[in-house]
Structure formats: C-alpha cells, structure tokens
Amino acid sequence: MKILSFRQFIRGLAHNKGYMIAAAVIFIASIAAGAFWAEDLRQLLVSQLEGLQSVAQSLKQSENVELSFFVFIFLNNAIKAVLVILFGAFFGLAPLFFLILNGMILGFVVQLSHDQGRDMAELIFQGLLPHGIIELPAIVIACAYGLKFGGMVIGTLFSLGADKRQQLASRWEEGLKQLAGAAVWVVILLFIAAIIESTITYNLLR
C-alpha cells in the first residue's frame, strides 16, 4: 500500500521539515532546560523516575527479563507515540507537552548522573546511544506530526469559507495519509529501538 511506503514516509518528513525542525528544537531546548534547572526540578521529576524504577524492579523478577522489558518498553513508547499524534488535533498541545516533559527528564537524568560522578561516556555510549539513536528521532517525528495535526485543525478554523472547501478536503486527505503512514513507521522504529534497549542496552548497563 502506498500509505505504508517507506519512500513516502521519507518524502513526508521532507515535506514537513518545518514541523520536524520545530519539534527537534523544542526537544533539545527542553533537554538543556532539564540539565540547567536540575536542582529546581528534582522534586517534580524524581517521582517520575521512581515510578519507572519501581516498574523496572518488578520486571527484573520475571522469568524472561529481556522479553518483559521489551514488551513494556515497546508498548509504552508505541502507545504514547500514536496518542501524541492523535491528540495533536487539540491544537498541538499534547505533543508540545510531551516534548518538553521528556526532554527535561532526559536532561535531568544526564545532569544528575554527572553530579553523582557517573562515567558520562558510559552513560551516553552504552545507556543512550544504542537504542536512542532510533528511539529519540522516532519520538520527535511522532511529536512533529502531532504538531502538524494541530496545525491542520487551526488552519481549517481560519479557512472555513465555502470557496475553500474543496481545497481543504484535498489538504486533509493528503495530511491524514501522511499522519497514518508516519504512525505506522514510528511504531516500526520504536519496535526496533525496544529490541535494542531490552537486549544490547540492558546487557551493557547490567
């Protein structure tokens, strides 16, 4: 199917490069903010991390640890990514919030690890890069398409004249095809990233 074409997916990324750049900039700025204001954010973000640590400890008690981690990581990331795209319809607020929150958590974790004297090269090259080189771009892409969905809604609200209905219908048809294709490929990328994180990353850090 054309909607599932990888070539079409890549073309969609190029066609929506403005949203891609915006999402990447917001994410990078949020990482920097999370690192810069790490001490101020400690109480807010530590609870988030403690929740993840609690889940991780319970997963380590399972019979097949790597499979349990894979299922949890994949479903958690894939469901959130698809919902971020869908809820982008609400003026792009969901992907904006998701980018800021996850960027700040990542920045906070890196800064906290640095403050605790951890080997930063080990954290980055063993703990983040193996899966993050796929996972982080996939999340940014999902949020970019969520922002695009919000842009489509806002654009429609300001273009409700009867003489533009045909143009709007065509724009929505093409836009929804891009959103659907992006959602499929983001899930595929997150599937690959989850395999890497639950095997390579897990064993490197264990």
In this prediction, the residues of the chain whose per-residue pLDDT falls under 70 are 1-3, 160-165, 206
pLDDT (tens digit, 9 = 90+) per residue, 158-201? 776 555 667 777 888 889 999 999 999 999 999 999 999 999 99
Amino acid at 120: M
CA distances from 29 to 21, 100, 123 (A): 12, 8, 20
| pLDDT tens digits, one per residue of 103-114 | 999 999 899 888
- Residue 9 is predicted with a pLDDT of 93
With beta carbons less than 8 A apart as the criterion, state whether 202 and 69 touch: yes
**Exposure string (b/e) for 10-42, b if CB count within 10 Å is 16 or more?**
eebbeebeebbebbbebbeebbebbbeebeebe
Single pTM value for the model: 0.91
Phi, psi of 40 (to 5 degrees): -70, -30
Q: In 60-164, which residue ranges form alpha helices assigned H by DSSP? A: 65-87, 93-115, 120-122, 129-157
In the 8-state DSSP scheme, what is residue 90? T
